[in-house]
Amino acid sequence: MKKSVITHIVVMIIAVALGWYLASSLTVQRADIIKIEKQISKAPLGGFNKFASDVQWMLFINYCGGLDAVKAENVEEIYKRLNGILNNDPNHEAAYEMGGMMFSVRAPQKAVEIFTRGAENPNLKDNWRLPFYAGFVLTQHMKDSDDDKRLQKAEKMFRMALERNNSLPHILSALIRTRAKQLMKRGNWKGVPIANDKHAYLCALYDEWRQGGGTGGEVFSGNAVGVSTDLRPMLLVAAQKAKASAPNDKNILNTIDKVMDKVLKAEHLCAKCLNSYAPGDRFCGACGNRVVVYGTCPVCGNIMKAKYCSRCGCDDARAKEIINKRLERRRARMARPAVAAPVVKPAVAVPVKPAVKPAVTAPAAK
Applying CB under 5 A, the residues found at the interface with Zn ion are 270, 272-273, 284, 286-287, 289, 297, 299-300, 302, 309, 311-312
Instruction: Kindly state the smallest distance separating residue 249's Cβ from Zn ion, in Å.
Output: 18
* Residue 25: exposure state from Cβ atoms within 10 A (0-12, 13-18, ≥19): exposed
* Closer residue to Zn ion (CB): 98 or 312: 312
Instruction: Kindly state the smallest distance separating residue 269's Cβ from Zn ion, in Å.
Output: 8
Instruction: Kindly state the smallest distance separating residue 230's Cβ from Zn ion, in Å.
Output: 23
* Closer residue to Zn ion (CB): 177 or 318: 318
Instruction: Kindly state the smallest distance separating residue 280's Cβ from Zn ion, in Å.
Output: 12
* Closer residue to Zn ion (CB): 134 or 284: 284
* Closer residue to Zn ion (CB): 224 or 253: 253
CA distance 260 to 264: 5
- Degrees (nearest 5) of the Cα angle 86, 161, 79? 25
Instruction: Kindly state the smallest distance separating residue 295's Cβ from Zn ion, in Å.
Output: 12
Q: Which residues contact 365 (CB under 8 A, 6 or more apart)?
A: none
* Closer residue to Zn ion (CB): 168 or 312: 312
* Closer residue to Zn ion (CB): 174 or 270: 270
CA distance 232 to 219: 10
The one-character DSSP state at 223 is -
Instruction: Kindly state the smallest distance separating residue 362's Cβ from Zn ion, in Å.
Output: 45
H helix intervals, the chain: 2-37, 49-65, 75-88, 93-103, 108-119, 129-140, 150-164, 169-186, 197-211, 231-245, 250-262, 316-335, 337-365
Dihedral through CA 307, CA 313, CA 318, CA 320, nearest 10?
A: -80
CA distance 237 to 174: 16
* Closer residue to Zn ion (CB): 112 or 309: 309
Instruction: Kindly state the smallest distance separating residue 245's Cβ from Zn ion, in Å.
Output: 16
CB 235 within 8 A of CB 263: yes
